[in-house]
Structure 1
C-alpha cells in the first residue's frame, strides 16, 4: 500500500469517526449519569449547561469527521483535483494548470485500495488520463492514451503509427506559448478520429519505440513529444494504475492567475 494523501485522508476519517462513535456509545452516557443536571439543561451552583466535561479530542473529532468524510467521498469516488507540474502535455496543458479528474470514468474504485467494484468504461485513444507511475506508484502522471489493449504502436523518426497506419498531422506553425523550448513546431494530430495539438522540437533527438499493447495495459505519450517521460521510456501502464480521466481546467496559477484558461475543457 502506498502511504499517500488518500491514505492519510482515509486514516483521519476513520480515526475521527471512531473517536466520535466511542464517545457517543461509551463516554457520553457516563457523563450524563455523573452530571444529570448538566444534561437536563439545569444550572448547578452558577454553572452553565452544555458539554463542559467533553474531552477536547472528542470536540475536534466531532468537528472534523463530517468534513473529512465529505472530502474523502468526493475525492475518492467522484472528482479529484491535480496541479500540472511539468511541460510534458504542452500545448494541451500548461505548467500551473489546476485540473479536475473524473474518478469514476474508468470504473468505481475503493479509495486507497484502488480496487474496481463497478465497471463503467475503458480508456479510449485520445483520452487525457491520470495514472500511477508504474515505477513509483506514489507518483501521479498525466499523459494521453495512445494505445489500447491489442494495438501495435510504433514511433519512428518522430512519426506515430497505430496498427500499421501513419497517424496524420497538420502543421499549425511555430509554437509561441509558455515553456522554455528550442523553436518548437505545433501540429494538429488526428489520432484515428481524435484531434489534439502536439509539439515537435526539430533540434532535439526523439526516442523511437515499438510496442504491442498487452491486455489490461495502455500506451501513454505526452503531447510535448520531445519533452515527455512516457511509455516510450518505461513501458505500458497497467489498468489498475489508472486514476481517472482529466476533463476540465478549473484554475491556472503560475506567476499570476490565468483567467483565460479557467473553465476550459480538456480535449
Structure 2
C-alpha cells in the first residue's frame, strides 16, 4: 500500500478519532477542566490522575513495558468511573467502542462528573460497586489484553527478524510492524489458543493451541492485495507435514518478498527472475554469493572490512580464491582493493540438478539459480494434468486444497474420479528471500496459498546490531524506516 493508501486509511478513521476527542473534550469540561487539555498526549493522562486523586508518579510507570498498557487502562477506567460509569457493561463498551460511547457521554446532559474515584464521597455513593485494588488491576489487565489481542489480530503485529534470509533489505535484529489491514485481517482458524503465544508456550515448548476446533478460512476486506515486490509475512506451508502437522494459522511465520502473483508465468535464469517474459529488477540491497579471485598472497578481508561492507560467510578454498555473501554495491567496493583481481556472482549452471529445489524432480534438472518457466496458480485457473505439470501442482491440489490425489499408471484420480485437469480454488504466490543464496523459500518448497498470508511488513521501528561495537548497537539509520 503506497502513500495514497495510507492517506485513505487515515481519512477513513479520522472521523472516529474526532468523535473520541470531541467526547473527551466535553467530559473534561464537565469535570471543571479546559476541554483542550484532553487533546495533549500524556498531559491528558496527568489530568485524569489529578481528577481521580491518583498519584502523579503513575505516569512514570507508563515507560515500563507490560505495565504501561495495564496502567493506561486503569487510568481510563478510573476516569470513566468518575462520571458514574461503574458497571462492567459500561466499561466494556467504552473500551471496545470508544467512538460511540465517549461522545455519547460527553454530549449527554445526564452524564455528570461525580467526583474522584479515590475520594471518600465516591466510595460512599458507589460503595457496593467499588472493588478492591487487586480486582481493579485484574479488570484493567483483562481489558488491556482484550484490546491488545484485537490490535494484534486485526490491525498491527510486531515481529523480529531472526535470520539473514532477507538481508540486506531487512537485517537480523530488525524489529518491525506488520500490517494486517493492508491485505485484510485473516480471522482465526484455530480459535482455542493461548494469547500471544504463536504455536508453542514459552519455556515449556508445549503446544499453545488446541486443534480440536478448526474454522474455515475467511479474510476481512483489505485496502489492497499482495503485489510483486511486497515484503510479506506468511505461515510456512511445510509445517503442515510431519512432525508438526500444524493448522495453517499456527504454522511458523516467515517473511519473504513476493516475486510472483497468481497467474504469472515465472522463471529464473542464472539468478535473474523473469515474470511473463520480462526481467524483474533485483532489490537494491539484495545479497548473493560472489566468487573472489585475489593475487594469491593469501590475504582475505579483515574484521573491519567485513563489518563495514557486510561481508558474510567468507570461505577460502585456495590461496587465491574464496567466496562470500554480500550486496552488489559492496561487491563493487571490494573489487577496488589492490589485491583483488575479480569479484563475480557465483551462480549455478543450467542443467545442474539440485534435489532440494522444488519440485524435486530429476527430469527437470533445476537448481536454485535456474528453474521454470511455470504458471503460478490462480483461483479459477484450470491446468491440464500430466507427467510434466503434476509434480508442480500436486501439493497444492492435495494438501492446500484438501483433495484426495492418486496416480495409477498413467491415470490421475482426484477424490476417486479419473481426470486430466484441475481448477484451482485459491490464489497462490511465489516468495523469495532477498539473500538469494541464503534463504529457504519457494524455490525449495513451492507455492504459498492465499490463506497462509498474514500481512505486509510496513516499517522498522528499531534495529539492533549484535555484532557492532558497544556504543553502536542501534542502527539509527534504520529506526522508524519504511520497508520497501
TM-score of the pair, normalised by structure 1: 0.68
Gaps of 5+ in 2: 1-86, 90-121, 191-216, 240-247, 291-305, 315-322, 330-342, 349-366, 379-426, 467-472
Aligned to 2:144: 67
Shift of 1:115: 2.6
Residue 177 of structure 1, aligned match among 283, 305, 310: 310
Matches within 5 A, 1:48-59: 51=131, 58=135
| Partner SS for 1:67 | helix
Matched positions, count: 212
Question: Which aligned runs of 4 or more in structure 1 are off by greater than 6 angstroms?
Answer: 170-175
| Partner SS for 2:162 | coil
Aligned to 1:9: none
| 1:98–1:249 CA contact under 8 A, matched in 2 | yes
Residue 140 of structure 1, aligned match among 245, 250, 253: 253
Aligned to 1:131: 234
Q: 1:164 to 1:94 in 2, by over 3 A?
A: same
Matches within 5 A, 1:54-203: 58=135, 61-111=138-188, 115-136=218-239, 137=248, 138-168=251-281, 176-177=309-310, 179-181=312-314, 182-184=323-325, 186-187=327-328, 202-203=345-346
Aligned to 2:363: none
Aligned to 1:209: 371
| Partner SS for 2:220 | strand
Shift of 1:259: 1.9
Structure richer in strand, relative to its length:
1
| 1:144–1:223 CA contact under 8 A, matched in 2 | yes
| Partner SS for 2:150 | helix
Q: 1:240 to 1:122 in 2, by over 3 A?
A: same
Structure richer in helix, relative to its length:
2
| 1:171–1:185 CA contact under 8 A, matched in 2 | no
CA distance in 1, matches of 2:159, 2:219: 21
Aligned to 1:262: 479
Q: 1:168 to 1:74 in 2, by over 3 A?
A: closer
Residue 253 of structure 1, aligned match among 446, 464, 467: 464
Q: 1:202 to 1:63 in 2, by over 3 A?
A: same
| 2:178–2:233 CA contact under 8 A, matched in 1 | yes
| Partner SS for 2:154 | helix
177-186 vs 209-218, which deviates more?
177-186
RMSD of the alignment, in Å? 3.3
Shift of 1:164: 1.8
Which structure is higher in RCO with an 8 Å CA cutoff and minimum separation 6? 1
Greater Rg, structure 1 or structure 2?
A: 2
TM-score of the pair, normalised by structure 2: 0.39
Shift of 1:168: 4.7
